Structure 1
Amino acid sequence: TRWKLNQLVPKLGSRELQEREQAIEGLTALGAAAVPALLEQLGKGNPRARAAAAVVLGRLRPPQAVPVLIERLGDAEEAVRDAAIEALEEIGEPAVLELIRRLGDADELIRVGAADALGHIKDLRAVKPLLDLLSHESLSTREAAAEALGELGQPAAVPALAALLKDDSPVIQQAALTALDKIGTPEALEAVRQWHEEHR
């Protein structure tokens, strides 16, 4: 196993897609034995290695990867951020409480990534914290919270999302419209209809 790890881990950061894919498959097959090396790559590998390590961790779903993956939501590279979000979605329930806690993070990228992941995990404990985020001063954070609430599909979010249709930002109005459409209750659809009436 040690020999295999030594062979595969360096390939996570390869410029060659085929080599990276071989490393991802091989490390996934090694299972739990690969986790410490993957966490190390996630923290300090090159961007390709960080993204590839996140992919494998998403497949293996070790709960101890959650804090490190959440840190990568603030990564400078979008590909790494996206891979971390997907991995957290795969891990699912064990990631929820830490993701909720990080909705209040000082780093906007982490707030947005946490909201995105929570929307896809669909754990209802996220509804209230996401509703609280709709009044955040950051436009990107409000947008991410609205989108996540749409994914969660909870009727309880309708009044707050309907109120966002009066937001100064067209981006926020659009996010609220999409979320209300997804929730799809009569109240949600009525709010959407009224908005379209007023914006003819």
Structure 2
Amino acid sequence: MTESRAATRNGASRCADSPAPSLHDQLRVATGAIHERLHHHSGFAAIQSGTIGKDAYTALLCRLYGFHHPFELTLPQVPDRTNWLTRDLIDLGVDPTALAALPRTAAFPVDASAEYQLGARYVVEGSALGGRGLARQLDGLLGINVTAGCRFFAGHGAETGAVWRAYLDHVSRVPPGASTRTAVVAGATRTFAIFEQWLEGWNDRHD
């Protein structure tokens, strides 16, 4: 009994001495499962394998436009991704009138807190890292080193890593506090869920 109580106290002491997980760690754990599912999304997988055709690729970008346009407008954010997707879709032959009529998700909360917005950015800033890898797999479809049609996945280009590190630095400076961290994590998990749901049926017209 005495040894058991001592072991419990020692275990509690070690736990007390262990550093609390960083907010970045919390975000990574909370979104790990859905991130893994999206990694295997059929559209992204087809780009990765070099098997996506022009019609399906255009359909995927249309779907992405329907996510990123309201995301950047509602939260709000600098509309980099909206602009990249707009140029890509026009280069791929989408008429500006048709572009303006594309469906858009209405799931983003209006007047979200700054903490929620920071968490939501975890989704789009993190996906940019994988986007650069996908951009390199589009040479067979668009042409080697062709920019037209590939701006969205190319993103910030060589600066993508620096942009991600700047975002993580912002995350690291979030003041401690359970409610604050909860809001940031909620922004990330909810935005991932919106993204996953929005991508369903992306290729219905081209299956």
TM-score (norm 2): 0.23
TM-score (norm 1): 0.24
Give 1 or 2: higher helix fraction.
1
Name which structure has the greater RCO, CA cutoff 8 Å, separation 6+. 2
